[in-house]
Structure 1
């Protein structure tokens, strides 16, 4: 299967503090080197608690942040990560807050025309035909084009955000919490729309969300991030039904379920490691009941567990028996 997206050693480190000569006094590694391949037409779900590096990874993929190391390939072509304009035609971002992501001083027509004019150099007649086609695809009326963002509901604004991403004719969409700000009934409408567009336009999705139920429902595979690293990746149905990494099980047990009382899945005081002073071994060791001295001294590799899942754990959870 053709790879739509390939990451090779992609990482991001931020300088922290300034010394007397303006040099940084420390650094925070927000994303550790990631090797990842996403086949064309796949929806890869990316999950993890706040601060795990999901949004930093997404911003690197669309050129909003330059990576510290590594490379990005889209359909076999390497992107110049130092040139943000190289990303626009290939990969686009759908933001979490649909209304604030739209320029309040511009009409929807102006918002839609921007990528068509600057990325594709379309003339006016071509732009109008393209916008009509996209609006039909996302079930929006053409009369909306002369209105401003504040005149729309959250669901309508998110459809406009999706339409803007489609206008660039990109083959990959980064969906960063695309339904978390919407009512439950509207969430279903937007998710169904995304599924229809994926099939119709042969799109590839990276779907970032805190809502594990939504990710499990829409994703083909799931990548679990913890402290800037991928700790588990595998088929969506398998990763949460039979997690191999203890952190993945913690996430699944933490998710609220109708009819089940809320309980703490781990002891009080359990926290993420200090990013300015990361632990020498597995970053999850201090929170893991299965941790040994090996875990506290050596960083585990992301290895195949033998059932189609890869986990970065020396002592993975047992696979379910047939």
Structure 2
């Protein structure tokens, strides 16, 4: 397996309180030390509840946030977090809200030209040829280039956002909820486009979403995050067919299904852990029906199993 992306001990802690002349009052660990490898040409889905650390992890990968610890390697080379251009040429971000991610004061041509100028130093003729090629690949007409972002629908704007990411010639795309703001019919069009682009350009995707049906359909593997840690990792077809971590099962049971009444798998009094006062041991134990005293002793490590899956649980569902 050729690794496109490798994370080693990557974590992020945000300081709380303090000021210019005083130390921070506390720290919130948004992402716990994480080791993760994504193969070239793979789509890795990342799922979890709001606040689990998905977007923080994504922003570290593209250089929008500096990691507190750890390293990011792309194709075997460690990235210099002080040089945004290094990130931009290798990895790009597709944002959740396509309209707000585009500068409203710039035409689409100016938006598309920015990475070609700043990252690759292309001249006018080369830029025009590259933009024409990219627009054709995302099924957009070149007459759109002289319009402004507010003149487009959500689906068209998301295609432009994808085209901008491709303009940098990066081989890895971070897709942060790329279809959640779109109508269902448009979602299918964008997902099919992403599949075509992956095949045609040899891309690697990290697909971040809360929509389990979408992530299962597009992903080769899925990483389940809870409270800043990966709690289960495995092939997409295995993760929700036979979840091993109780939290993964909770997510699967919570997903709405056509023809099935909406029922809450947990009681209304359930509370998420306090990030300023994290629990000892397993962060999920207060919500877990299988928790024992062992779960309070120390966080369970992410352990590999014979079937290739990894799970961080003292009492997995198959045991």
TM-score range for the pair, normalised by the shorter chain length: over 0.9
Q: What's 1:34 paired with?
A: 34
Q: Which residue of 2 aligns with 1:210?
A: 210
Shift of 1:318: 1.2
User: Where do residues 92-131 of structure 1 align in structure 2 (5 Å cutoff)?
Assistant: 92-131=92-131
The DSSP-based 3-state class of the residue aligned with 2:222 is strand
| Equivalent-residue separation in structure 2 for 1:141 and 1:210 (angstroms) | 32
Is the deviation greater in 107-116 or in 268-277? Answer: 268-277
CA distance in 2, matches of 1:20, 1:82: 23
Greater mean alpha carbon deviation, residues 75-84 or residues 283-292:
75-84
Q: Structure 2 CA distance, aligned partners of 1:203 and 1:153?
A: 26
* Distance of 1:236 and 1:312 partners within structure 2: 17
Partner of 2:249: 249
| Structure 2 equivalent of residue 192 of structure 1 | 192
1:298 Cα offset (Å): 1.1
Q: Name the residue aligned to 1:3.
A: 3
How big is each residue's C-alpha offset from its partner over 1:26-82, in whole Å with a ceiling of 9 and x where there is no partner?
A: 000000000000000000000000000000000000000000000000000110123
SS at structure 1 position matched to 2:46: strand
Deviations 1:68-127 (A, max 9, x none): 000000000110123333200000000000000000000000000000000000000000
Aligned with 1:89: secondary structure?
A: helix
Separation (CA, whole Å) in 2 of partners of 1:8 and 1:314: 24
Question: Partners of 1:272 and 1:51 in 2: how far apart?
Answer: 10
Asked if 1:87 is matched to 2:90, the reply is no
Shift of 1:21: 3.5
| CA distances 1:204-226 after superposition (whole Å, capped 9, x unpaired) | 00000010000000000000000
| Per-residue deviation, 1:20 | 9.1
Contact 1:18 1:25 in 2 (8 A): yes
Q: Aligned pair count?
A: 319
- Structure 1, unaligned runs of 5 or more: none
User: How far apart, in 2, do the equivalents of 1:111 and 1:87 lie?
Assistant: 18
Structure 2 Cα separation of the partners of residues 281 and 19 of structure 1:
32
SS of equivalent to 1:174 = strand
Q: Please, what is the CA RMSD of the aligned residues?
A: 1.0
In the TM superposition, residue 161 of structure 1 has moved relative to its aligned partner by 0.2
Residue 172 of structure 2: aligned partner: 172
Q: For the residues of structure 2 that align with 1:20 and 1:285, how far apart are their CA atoms?
A: 38
Quote the residue 1:224 is aligned against: 224
1:63 aligns with 2:63: yes
The aligned residue for residue 140 of structure 2 is 140
SS in 1 for 2:89: coil
- Deviation of 1:307 (Å): 2.1
1:183-231 deviations in Å (ceiling 9; x for gaps): 0010000000000000000000000001000000000000000000000
2-structure distance, mates of 1:33, 1:88: 24
Equivalent-residue separation in structure 2 for 1:141 and 1:246 (angstroms): 48
For 2:27 and 2:233, the matched residues in 1 are separated by 27
* Contact map agreement 1:15 1:25 (CA 8 A) in 2: yes
TM-score normalised by length of structure 1: 0.98
Structure 1 residues 104-160: Cα deviation after superposition (integer angstroms, max 9, x where no partner): 000000000000000000000000000000000000000000000000000000000
- Measure the CA separation in 1 of the matches of 2:82 and 2:246: 37
Counterparts of 1:18 and 1:269, CA distance in 2: 33
Residue 19 of structure 1 and its aligned partner are, at CA, apart by 6.7
Which 4+ stretches in 1 moved above 6 angstroms?
none
Gaps of 5+ in 2: none
Deviation at 1:268, TM superposition (A): 1.9
